[in-house]
Structure 1
Amino acid sequence: MPKMLLHELHPAVIHMPLALLPTATVADVIAVATGDRSWAKVGRRLWVAGTLSALFSGVAGLAASQEVKLDEPRARDMVFLHGLGNALITVGAVGVTLWRLARPPSLGQCLVGLMANAAAVYTATLGGKMVYELGVGINPMPVDAAAGTLKGPPLLSREAPKALVRDALHGVRWLFGRAVSLFSGVDPLASGAKGFGAGTEVPVVSGEPLPRASLAPLPHVPTV
């Protein structure tokens, strides 16, 4: 029976904040529009649950960044933008949650929540592109491929908790180091890493564009 690996934890749990935080924002918008305190209470609880799940998903994501192969510059920088964006969104969610624990929802706070959720849609899109276009984190990728996985420990193994903490800390260091090299101009962002514009027309692996697949015509099946 195949075992779930540690780097697969992030895609398994990221759906929680992606569902809870927008729902919390909607509850707050309803509370502001109607003045209904019960909706304000629902929103506050959802903000707490969504933020806690975002923090856990973020730790899992930081660990996963050290357990997948990122030899291709576009994949590396797409992971960087995905991680940096999610880190900023999570910090914003923590701020909103602290605000909501002490105060009722406000129009300004609702606008901040809506913008954060819009940004989360973009970072989630990058996450999908990393996997479906570039093969980041996919186990069956060839050993010599620029993307794939480094085969971390099984999720339920004794090594997993230690590896989660260790790799998450390494992920923080990697994220910070990449940000320094990017914003200092030492290592510019790879073409196509933003998920749109130049460099995104054809998936890239090891610096060479993959040929576009051609579909052969289906054989004719005679009808009876």
Structure 2
Amino acid sequence: MKRKMLLHELHPSVVHLPLALLPTAAVADLIVVTTGDRAWEKVGRRLWVAGAASAVFAGVAGLAASQEVRMDSPRARGMTVLHGMGNALITLGALGLMAWRLARTPTPVTTALGLGACAFSLCTAALGGKMVYEQGVGINTMPEDAPQGTLKGPPLLSPEAPVALVKDAGRGAAWLLERARALL
């Protein structure tokens, strides 16, 4: 039986792009700052663009996925809020560093910020793994009475998927902001 990829499966499929590209961009900047090798400036600049763009895409996919899964347990919901807010901060930082790098060379401060954001991303990535492997968020198939799991979203390449992606990402952003507001 041939199984089609579902919309909520897009996030775990693309999240590895920013997790690889952003640290590579930060290391390219570190090479420029520590060695003065200007050849790495253009490499770093391009990696910041690709990394930030992939972080935005992974974030939109994550917001949509948050609306395609069931999370009845407070622990799973809390983990999802921390995961989403942490990644939103990392993505905003990546966009800021990208904007800086489009116009300027890396500095020790911007390089340290980039490396720090990459270290922080390891925490949010580990939290995402715990959500899946410890809490069962997004796991197929599951009993109807399970507190976490997956709702049946559209197949990724179906005509319904683009509309569901945009709609669910908007609902996911609203959900995340409401939860963050409640925490503050």
Shorter chain as denominator, the TM-score bin is over 0.9
Distance, in Å, in 1 between the alignment partners of 2:183 and 2:29 is 37
Q: Give the secondary-structure state (helix, strand or coil) at the position aligned to 1:88.
A: helix
Q: Name the aligned partner's letter for residue 107 of structure 2.
A: S
Higher helix share: 2
Confirm whether residue 5 of structure 1 aligns to residue 6 of structure 2: yes
Instruction: Give a deviation string over 1:150-174, Cα, whole Å, max 9, x none.
Output: 1111101000000000000001100
Instruction: Give a deviation string over 1:23-74, Cα, whole Å, max 9, x none.
Output: 0000000011111111111111000000000000000000000000110100
Q: Name the aligned partner's letter for residue 97 of structure 2.
A: V
Distance, in Å, in 1 between the alignment partners of 2:138 and 2:49 is 30
Confirm whether residue 163 of structure 1 aligns to residue 179 of structure 2: no
Distance, in Å, in 1 between the alignment partners of 2:84 and 2:45 is 26
Matches for 1:25-36 after TM superposition, within 5 Å: 25-36=26-37
* Preserved contact between residue 135 and residue 141 of structure 1 (Cα < 8 Å): no
Distance, in Å, in 2 between the alignment partners of 1:14 and 1:179 is 22
Confirm whether residue 112 of structure 1 aligns to residue 136 of structure 2: no
Q: Name the aligned partner's letter for residue 34 of structure 1.
A: T
Structure of greater Rg: 1
Distance, in Å, in 2 between the alignment partners of 1:127 and 1:172 is 17
Percent identity reads 68
Distance, in Å, in 2 between the alignment partners of 1:23 and 1:138 is 30
TM-score by length of 1: 0.81
**Which structure 2 residue ranges, 5 or more long, are not aligned?**
none
1:19: Cα distance to partner?
0.1
Aligned to 2:80: 79
Q: Give the secondary-structure state (helix, strand or coil) at the position aligned to 1:69.
A: strand
1:141: Cα distance to partner?
1.6
Aligned to 1:174: 175
Q: Give the secondary-structure state (helix, strand or coil) at the position aligned to 1:66.
A: helix
Matches for 1:137-216 after TM superposition, within 5 Å: 137-183=138-184
Distance, in Å, in 2 between the alignment partners of 1:124 and 1:90 is 13
Aligned to 1:22: 23
Distance, in Å, in 2 between the alignment partners of 1:139 and 1:42 is 40
Distance, in Å, in 2 between the alignment partners of 1:141 and 1:129 is 17
Q: How many residues align?
A: 183
Aligned to 1:54: 55
TM-score by length of 2: 0.98
Distance, in Å, in 2 between the alignment partners of 1:151 and 1:82 is 22
* Preserved contact between residue 139 and residue 151 of structure 1 (Cα < 8 Å): no
Q: Give the secondary-structure state (helix, strand or coil) at the position aligned to 1:98.
A: helix
Distance, in Å, in 2 between the alignment partners of 1:63 and 1:73 is 19
Higher relative contact order (CA 8 A, sep 6+): 2
Q: Give the secondary-structure state (helix, strand or coil) at the position aligned to 1:148.
A: strand
Instruction: Give a deviation string over 1:182-221, Cα, whole Å, max 9, x none.
Output: 11xxxxxxxxxxxxxxxxxxxxxxxxxxxxxxxxxxxxxx
Q: Name the aligned partner's letter for residue 50 of structure 2.
A: A
Confirm whether residue 37 of structure 1 aligns to residue 17 of structure 2: no
Q: Give the secondary-structure state (helix, strand or coil) at the position aligned to 2:67.
A: coil
